Structure 1
Amino acid sequence: MRRLLPLLLLLAFAAPLWGQSVLVEAESFAQPGGWKLDTQFIREMGSPYLLAHGLGDPVADATAKVTFPETGEYKVFVRTKDWVARWNAPGTPGRFQLLVNGQPLQETFGTKGADWNWQAGGSVKIDSKEVELALHDLTGFDGRCDAILFTKDDATPPNEGKILSAWRRDLLGLEEKPTEKGGYDLVVVGGGYSGMGAALSAARMGCKVALIQDRPVLGGNGSSEVRVWAMGNIRRGKYPRIGEIVEEFSDQAKKSPGTYEEFGDDKKEAIVEAEKNIDLFLNHHAFKVEMDGEKKIAAVYAFDTRTSEEKRFTSQLFVDCTGHGTIGYLAGADFDMAEKGRMGMSNMWAWAEADEERKFPETPWALDLSMKDFPYPRDHHGQWFWESGFDKDPLGDAEGIRDWNLRAVYGAFNAMKNKDGADKHESAYLTWMAYVGGPRESRLLRGDVVLNQDDIVAKRDFTDGCVPSTWSIDLHYPKKQFAEKFPDNPFISIAVHDRRVDRNFGYPVPYRCFYSRNIDNLFMAGRCISVDHEALGTVRVMKTCGMMGEVVGKAASLCATYDCTPREVYERYWPEMDQLLKLPGKARRADLDDEIEIPANVPLLAGPYGPPTGLDPAKLAGTVVDDTEAERIGKWTEGAGLKGYVGYGYLYAGGDSGGAVRFAVEAPEAGLYDIHFAYQPHENRGKTVPVVVETKNQRLEKKINQQAVPPIEGGFISLGELNLDKGEVVTVIVATAGAGGNVHADAVQIVPVKK
């Protein structure tokens, strides 16, 4: 009985009906000004909120017109926090004022409480029923406002973190019953690459789809809000059509972070909106799951983060593309999460130089950094390795992880502007900093297969392998060089790669990783699929996640057609699934019962290694054999860092390592041919690389200086001319013995010699 007492007291405390009260949700302000809608932490603190993310310059006021039930004296409360107080940091960077009809209240907000709380703002006299409110930022350093309450009651409002709590519903006049949204074959929760891939793929196969995204833009980590460029090779492996949908919407960023324009938020939305089978719900946060028994989801509930209107989405099938496995967790799906050593969250940033001196405010509340405490931001941007939260709670304290990242970046820029870097950065100013975090790892939902590192490295052949993962097993850890000052929460990471992943053909991730083993109608795609911590290091990049969505969308169409579960697609309908996976990404039908149509403008079918990322061998003169088709002897490493290569990359090995590469080229017609060999020059290459050219009765031997630039277009050098019969095979062997340095092998070309 004693354990129930606090709950009973809370209920009694929350009992007032809050008559003659006005609740204003900050996210409902008609004109947000320069304030940003932050929806990342609703599950932690119960609500979206407005954030004054001005990079040190106060943002424009957010304004709203509010109708009061009557005039008179009202007490004012603002739900906010002092976001650096949890670390006992000096100063209050998130200060702002509340203006009522243009007049600021005496209290300055964002100055009290390490946790979200209702900060008392004194009293205000309301003389007319129509009132204009404004949030007036004072610093530009991430002040935050959840809601404002005007009341004539004596009690302080309850500071609960429940989403759409009863007292808020009453004051906002929300309907008790949610708006029904049904008739869907698939409900997709999460609008990143995996969610977009799933929605587009299912819609084009005739499914009616609801796509729910809690942000105002699509793309997730690959949007302009986070700006992680899209990595992972597509259109290759067992099903080289998979990835064609991803290719339609993926960003064109040349670095990470890139520019706003490069991430193409509008293009992504336009592609989704063009599909008549998709209903898109931006700014909708899914927060509750209704079950039909223990093993089947009946509905997902979401609310509009701008109006708080609640909706109930019903469907036979659901896919969790939230990144955190949120829908699976709420449904009771089996999951796992590494206790420690998880990859963290990043918040990248960028700066530029003005034509004149630019000041930056002192930041005593930020991390106390000097220039030696962080990597100098090359190319004027802080890259992916600005990452923290490795052993922190990625679900219950994501806001704390994000805020620590902000303190780290502001502390670094303060060092550049006001401390030991000041003499070199007089004109430097911040241009962008991600306030939406880029998380990498949390819950991993469990499917019928839990993929691990050994499966990938050993190329374990699952019969349902379908999504090619080509990224190395890339795991992030705190970088010791920069961890000494803040050992409890380092903010710079290092990537440790296991490069034994096949980066050309790709490792085919099995379909059985894409559905829940204990929730019968739940798919998952993205970084919450059924893998372990190590395997996550290769499957988590955006284009790979997008291809998972493509596969799930096609599987959903089979489930809808045959009224079966995702598991039964593998057990009973895999031949049909195999055929769907071979269809072009633009293949479509309006309804499930229609015939599938393939439009004329589909991309050319890529080979097992996908479209070339370098020079296309098919467009070069003569006959070309790339290194992907060559026989390797000994240990060779695949590379693509030196641009201008043929095909998909090149091979390199240490000198005198005992290795060799053997190319075999068949002459298409009889005649005289010039035999060419391609390599990428570098200062660490050997000057005496041995190359042997052989036919059935001819042999040439050469020593090549691979530090010199090849003289023939495409990076080739001539090895000599040979007369060949039609169908005769030329063998070119490049060895490491006696090379005098590293050896590089890219391609072999035979070109007819014109007489």
Structure 2
Amino acid sequence: MSTIIEAARELPVIDEVDVVVAGGGPGGFPAAVAAARRGARVLLIERYGILGGLASGGMMGPLFGYAFRKTNLILGGIPVEILERLKALGGVRPDYIKQKGAVQFFPEMVKHVADHMVVESGAKLLLHAWVVDVVRQGDHIDAVIIESKSGRQAVRAKYFIDATGDGDLAYRLGCDYSKGRPADGKTQPMGTKFRIGGVDMAKAKEHDKASREFIAKAIDEGRIPSYHTFAGEVSDQGITLRPDESTPTVTRCAGDATNVHDLTRAEVKIRRDTLAIVDFYRQFVPGYENCYLMETPFAVGVRETRQIIGDYVLTGDDVLSSRRFDDTVARGCWFLDIHCPLGRYNGHSNLCDKKCSIKPDCIMKTKYSDQLFDNMFGFKVNDENMWYDIPYRCFVPNKSSNLLVSGRCLSADSGGMSSVRVIATCFAMGEAVGAAAAQCVKKGIAPRKVDVKALQDDLRSANVPL
């Protein structure tokens, strides 16, 4: 590969703040809000033109999957505030608390809720700007370098929160990380939801069992490029409140989402597959005779890339055993949601192909085998006391003195990440990390020196159950 030498240049420093939050998705904008509400001067930098990430433009959902335990929510604070603000805008059902498995919602409204919360908190916002590098002094970040239509610029801060999903800041700083399953480093595949209109939902539900059997056979025969038998999500799992729409989760593409070529291939493949799937539904699935494609996401959904190594690594065993920690700052409750890294289609089971030649090395068939299959759908849903704690140590990267991470790039193994990566949990993690950053600002201390008991008291005062 040939190379070029880029000439050195001086960059304008366009702002100096207490805390820079890189990434405005579910792990980012709550962090910015939490830090700003506690008095920190915050700048939130987001590469797209909207906040909310996969919960808004990514059309991913549902929200709060299994976050209810009988009559109790295991999450509080900003995650519940988001739901209440969505309710005020008609973005969730007025009685959403009755949807205990998951909460249907309109992704469009998440954009507006996130905008309002960030602006009201007093945090500054910079959209259409991509954090591309860090200026470092040893393990200390002095500034981040951003690229935008305004050119290449810099922002200084005392503390930084990496909510990029891929751990981009931590990676640039030189923090250690893992990626993918232990056997071969392959990550979970990329995928998207999409929205279909013109569905006769009553008819679809009536034929749901037969439709799933028919689609499973078609998948096995290679007639439909789908990995799942959903003929549209006809339960409470959707991202729409309209009765004639469905939002399937059926696309998949293997690849490394930190590789631009793999990202490009995934975008094109999944859009092509989406059209083929909708056409198949229209031709063969009862209730979908008059369906049409309404919307696809602004970007492919990424399930897994870098896991930044912190002072503790959350494991799949922690999830499955509902482990508690003295330094907990958030809760998780999703199952081990592991998708085949090879992007295999798997018909009825939504698990890996029993004939797959790599199964001896697959995380789904080894380390978590028995427990995974027992808990795959319905992780202790009926027990109001069952969740797992997420310790503060998971947000403090090694080889860093003023950086925190938030969202799916936290310190976790492949199994632990498969549960913690979901939207509602990322909301909770963001709030905890933002509150921790504010404590760092007030006391002038490194994230590793945070008084976790004081942080817990602070979060409890904000209605976060711990």
TM-score by length of 1: 0.47
Contact 1:470 1:504 survives alignment (8 Å): no
1:281 counterpart = 2:95 = no
1:227 shift after superposition: 3.5
| Mapping for residues 309-458 of structure 1, pairs under 5 Å | 309-338=151-180, 339-340=184-185, 342-353=187-198, 370=223, 375=229, 376-379=231-234, 380-389=245-254, 392-396=255-259, 397-416=262-281, 421=284, 427-458=290-321
Task: Give the number of the structure whose residues are more often helix, by fraction.
Answer: 2
Find the partner of 2:388 among 507, 518, 530. 507
1:466 counterpart = 2:466 = no
Partner of 1:298: 142
Q: In 2 relative to 1, CA 201–354 (structure 1 residues): closer, same or farther, beyond 3 Å?
A: closer
Q: In 2 relative to 1, CA 232–298 (structure 1 residues): closer, same or farther, beyond 3 Å?
A: farther
Task: Give the number of the structure whose residues are more often strand, by fraction.
Answer: 1
Unaligned segments of structure 1, at least 5 residues: 12-164, 167-174, 356-367, 585-604, 609-755
Deviations 1:577-636 (A, max 9, x none): 23322222xxxxxxxxxxxxxxxxxxxx6877xxxxxxxxxxxxxxxxxxxxxxxxxxxx
TM-score by length of 2: 0.73
Q: In 2 relative to 1, CA 525–233 (structure 1 residues): closer, same or farther, beyond 3 Å?
A: farther
Deviations 1:156-186 (A, max 9, x none): xxxxxxxxx77xxxxxxxx954331333111
Q: In 2 relative to 1, CA 218–581 (structure 1 residues): closer, same or farther, beyond 3 Å?
A: same
Matched residue of 1:395: which SS?
coil
1:182 partner letter: D
1:378 shift after superposition: 4.8
Matched residue of 2:21: which SS?
strand
Tell which has more relative contact order, 1 or 2 (C-alpha 8 A, sep 6+): 2
Partner of 2:447: 566
Contact 1:242 1:550 survives alignment (8 Å): no
Contact 2:224 2:276 survives alignment (8 Å): no
Matched residue of 1:302: which SS?
strand
1:413 shift after superposition: 2.8
Distance in 1 separating the partners of 2:113 and 2:323: 38
Contact 1:520 1:566 survives alignment (8 Å): yes
Contact 1:348 1:384 survives alignment (8 Å): yes
Distance in 2 separating the partners of 1:198 and 1:319: 8
Distance in 2 separating the partners of 1:260 and 1:466: 27
1:193 shift after superposition: 1.5
Partner of 1:536: 417
Partner of 2:38: 205
Q: In 2 relative to 1, CA 199–402 (structure 1 residues): closer, same or farther, beyond 3 Å?
A: same
Matched residue of 2:445: which SS?
coil
| Mapping for residues 32-71 of structure 1, pairs under 5 Å | none
Partner of 1:231: 64
1:192 partner letter: G
Q: In 2 relative to 1, CA 423–182 (structure 1 residues): closer, same or farther, beyond 3 Å?
A: closer
Distance in 1 separating the partners of 2:449 and 2:325: 16
Out of 317-326 and 401-410, give the one that drifted further. 401-410
1:336 shift after superposition: 0.3
Distance in 2 separating the partners of 1:242 and 1:334: 30
Distance in 2 separating the partners of 1:399 and 1:256: 31
Deviations 1:682-702 (A, max 9, x none): xxxxxxxxxxxxxxxxxxxxx
Matched residue of 1:556: which SS?
helix
Distance in 2 separating the partners of 1:279 and 1:534: 35
1:576 partner letter: A
Partner of 2:435: 554
1:218 shift after superposition: 0.7
1:514 partner letter: F
1:242 shift after superposition: 6.6
Q: In 2 relative to 1, CA 257–214 (structure 1 residues): closer, same or farther, beyond 3 Å?
A: farther
Partner of 1:179: 12
Matched residue of 1:286: which SS?
strand
1:515 shift after superposition: 1.2
Distance in 2 separating the partners of 1:510 and 1:372: 40
Matched residue of 1:480: which SS?
coil
Deviations 1:25-49 (A, max 9, x none): xxxxxxxxxxxxxxxxxxxxxxxxx
Partner of 1:576: 454
Distance in 2 separating the partners of 1:343 and 1:513: 21
Distance in 2 separating the partners of 1:190 and 1:469: 21
1:229 shift after superposition: 2.7
Partner of 2:361: none
1:324 shift after superposition: 0.8
Partner of 2:237: none
1:521 counterpart = 2:402 = yes
Unaligned segments of structure 2, at least 5 residues: 94-101, 201-220, 235-244, 358-363, 365-371
Contact 1:227 1:257 survives alignment (8 Å): no
Distance in 2 separating the partners of 1:372 and 1:575: 50
Contact 1:320 1:524 survives alignment (8 Å): yes
Matched residue of 1:319: which SS?
strand
1:409 partner letter: T
1:429 shift after superposition: 2.1
Report the number of matched residues: 387
Contact 1:226 1:436 survives alignment (8 Å): no
Deviations 1:178-203 (A, max 9, x none): 33133311100010121111111111
| Mapping for residues 14-29 of structure 1, pairs under 5 Å | none
Q: In 2 relative to 1, CA 229–416 (structure 1 residues): closer, same or farther, beyond 3 Å?
A: closer
Distance in 2 separating the partners of 1:560 and 1:195: 18
Contact 2:380 2:386 survives alignment (8 Å): no
Contact 2:225 2:277 survives alignment (8 Å): no
Q: In 2 relative to 1, CA 232–522 (structure 1 residues): closer, same or farther, beyond 3 Å?
A: farther
Matched residue of 1:440: which SS?
coil
2:389 partner letter: P
Distance in 1 separating the partners of 2:257 and 2:25: 18
Q: In 2 relative to 1, CA 457–229 (structure 1 residues): closer, same or farther, beyond 3 Å?
A: closer
1:273 partner letter: V
Contact 1:354 1:427 survives alignment (8 Å): yes
Q: In 2 relative to 1, CA 292–461 (structure 1 residues): closer, same or farther, beyond 3 Å?
A: same
Out of 459-468 and 495-504, give the one that drifted further. 495-504
Distance in 1 separating the partners of 2:153 and 2:140: 19
1:337 shift after superposition: 0.4
| Mapping for residues 666-705 of structure 1, pairs under 5 Å | none
Contact 2:133 2:145 survives alignment (8 Å): yes
Distance in 2 separating the partners of 1:548 and 1:562: 21
Deviations 1:278-298 (A, max 9, x none): 1101111111111112x1111
Percentage of pairs with the same residue = 26
Matched residue of 1:546: which SS?
helix
Contact 2:193 2:249 survives alignment (8 Å): yes
1:330 shift after superposition: 1.1
Q: In 2 relative to 1, CA 575–412 (structure 1 residues): closer, same or farther, beyond 3 Å?
A: closer
Q: In 2 relative to 1, CA 300–481 (structure 1 residues): closer, same or farther, beyond 3 Å?
A: same
Distance in 2 separating the partners of 1:480 and 1:241: 32
